[in-house]
Each structure stands twice: as C-alpha cells, then as structure tokens.
Amino acid sequence: MKLNLGCGQNRMEGYVNTDREPAVEPDVVMDLEEFPWPFDDDSVDEVVANHVLEHVGATANVFIGVMQELYRVCRGGAMIRIAVPHPRHNFFLDDPTHVRAITPHTLQLFSRANCEEWKRLGASNSPLAFYADVDFELRELRVIVADKYKNEPDLKEMIERYNNIATEYQMVLEVIK
C-alpha cells in the first residue's frame, strides 16, 4: 500500500489518498492528529507527505504521535517522501495554518543512529528516536531555491542568513525496522 497523506486537491493514482476534509473526496477521511490511524501495522510501502507536516503537531506530543504512527504503519524499508516550505520563506511564514517548522534536523532527531552518536558525544540534542521508539534515516535532501538565486556563489551562506532564498525542503526518510 502507498499513502498520500493530506492529499487535498492533489490525488495520486495508485495511492490511498487521505485528507481530513471530506469535500476534497479522499479515499480515506482522517485527521493525522487522531490516533491510531486506520491502517494495519507494517502495511505501507511508501508515503507521500507533500506540504502536510507543517500543518500538524502544534504540540510536541502530537507531532511525536504523528511520527510514531508513520513508523507503526510503515514496513521496514518504506520510503516517506516529504516536501515542506522552508521555514525562512514567506511560503511558511504567511500561512496561519502552518504550526511547525520542519527541517532536516527535525527529522534527524528520529534516527537511532544519530541519537546514539549524540549520546556518545554528550550532546544536548533531544533523542526523539528513543523517546518515541522509532527509527528513521534521512536518505535524501534537496533544498529548492528561488530561481533568481540559483547561480549565487555563496548560496549556502545566503540561505542561512536571509529569508526568501530557499523555498522548500524535499526529503526522503527510510523506515528502519
């Protein structure tokens, strides 16, 4: 099974399209913040979360619950394809329904390997993989940049310093079981 979470108007053929709004006519009407999700353990091979995660988990417990549900329903080796607005872009800042910035580091907190290394180093990173009993590895990361900045020689520094340079993160997590 493949899931398209929070599909909105962007239904995908070959996926179970989910959304909390019945008006968009998803295959499954569900609120990602209500647990458990209506899918069996280890039943999902792929998840698409296209501009969804920034809308869920205004509290840490709810966001961690979303990550736990992703882990529960996915098989080992499942890929979770995530696109979110860059938190330093107006695409993120201007939408009042955005409740949480999602960055690569946010997702890396759910990696057991990272948490083990941070523990070894005595780092203060929150070991969310241990707290939530999950394990995800960030396998791909793309930073999408506004067209007018694509050829800037100091692009990485510009992204770190200024708003509205990077527009989006595209990431792929692998479920480790």
So what's the pLDDT on residue 56?
98
pLDDT at 5: 98
Alpha-carbon distance of 68 to 176, in angstroms, equals 13
pLDDT of residue 40: 98
Cβ(53)–Cβ(80) below 8 Å: no
pTM of the model: 0.95
What's the N-to-C CA distance of the chain in angstroms? 17
Q: Which fold has domain 2-175?
A: Rossmann fold (3.40.50)
Q: What local confidence, expressed as pLDDT, does residue 22 receive?
A: 96
What are the tokens at 4? Answer: 């398209």
pLDDT of residue 135: 98
Question: How confident is the chain (177 residues) per 10-residue block, as mean pLDDT?
Answer: 97 98 97 98 98 97 98 98 97 97 97 97 96 98 95 92 96 98
pLDDT digits (tens, 9 = 90+) for 46-94: 999 999 999 999 999 999 999 999 999 999 999 999 999 999 999 999 9
43 sits in the region (left: phi over 0; alpha: psi -120 to 50; else beta) called alpha
Contact 109, 129 (CB under 8 A): yes
Q: Is 72 helix (H, G, I), strand (E, B) or coil?
A: helix
In this structure, what token pair is assigned to residue 12? 């995908």
CA atoms within 13 A on the CB side of 131: 12
